[in-house]
Amino acid sequence: MKIHAGQESTPNITANDVYLRSLNEAIRAGDLKTIAIMLRGLAEKTGNMAALARSAGLSRPTLYAATTAGNNQKLSSFLKLTRALKLEITVE
């Protein structure tokens, strides 16, 4: 089984590539701490955490909790956040 996180349309290499590569490695390894850190980095790059939380259907505290290393993230929060970040999670 392969798990891959990638942005839906990324025509050129961007600064997000480092986050996406690290996110993929963390997902493969089951490393929740790194998953949270990479999602926080991608979320902060949007420049508007409040708007991202609204787009994800999460409260701001839930968004911050979901992207804080050491917290027990809910799968539902993870999926809402990845959709709001326009990330595509695939399992092969």
8-57 per-position pLDDT tens digit: 554 455 667 888 888 888 888 888 888 888 889 889 988 899 999 999 99
Cα separation of 43 and 23, whole Å?
Answer: 13
> Residue 88 to residues 61, 71, 85: CA-CA distances in angstroms?
24, 23, 9
Q: What's the rounded Cα separation, in Å, for the pair 59 and 37?
A: 18
pLDDT bracket for residue 4 (50, 70, 90) = low
Question: Which token pair is 77?
Answer: 């929060």
- CA 31, CA 11: separation in Å to the nearest integer? 28
pLDDT at 70: 80
pLDDT band for position 1 (cuts 50, 70, 90): very low
What is the number of structural domains in the chain?
Answer: 1
Tell me the residue range of the domain where 35 lies: 3-91
CATH number of residue 82's parent domain: 1.10.260.40
Reduced to 3 DSSP states, what percent helix, strand and coil does the chain have, rounded to the nearest 5? 60, 10, 30
pTM check: above 0.95: no
